[in-house]
Amino acid sequence: MGVIKHFSSSSHDRSSNMFSKWKRSQSSFSNTDESKPKNLPNPDPNNYKILKSKTIGKFLIIEIQYLDCTNYEGKKILIFDSCDMVDLLVQKAIDPHFSDNKGFHSPIARFEPTEKGWVLAVWFCENIIK
C-alpha cells in the first residue's frame, strides 16, 4: 500500500505525476494531502500505546490504542496465542489484522474496544482453554 508515484511506466510526463497524491486504500483510492496530519481509518502498526494487558494461560489480551486511527478512537482489544508481552514488543509493529505470516505474532481474535469487549475477551480466554 504505497503512494503511486507514476501511473505510466514509459516516461515522466504531466499525466504520470497527476496521480502522485493518490494513495491506494484496500480496494479504492483516496486523495491524501501530505502536509496535513494523517488521521487514518486503518491503524499504523508502528504508532500505538498499550493501555492494558492480561495473560490467561497461553493467551495474551491487550487493549491497544493506535494513535493515528479514527475508528473507535483507535482502540482495539486483541488476543494473541502462545505469545507474551515481551514477544509482542520485540517485534515492534503490532498489526491488528489477522495474518498467516509466521514471521510475526498476529491476533487470533478481536473484540469491540469497550468494557464489555474486555470482559468477553477474558471470558473467551478462560473458557477456550478448558
What is the mean pLDDT of each successive set of 10 residues along the chain, which is 130 residues long?
37 41 40 49 90 96 93 92 94 93 94 97 88
- Position 6 scores a pLDDT of 34
- Position 125 scores a pLDDT of 96
- Position 25 scores a pLDDT of 39
Closest CA to 121 of 64, 43, 40, 42: 64
**Please, are residues 126 and 59 in contact by the beta-carbon 8 Å criterion?**
no
- d(CA 95, CA 49) in angstroms, rounded, equals 13
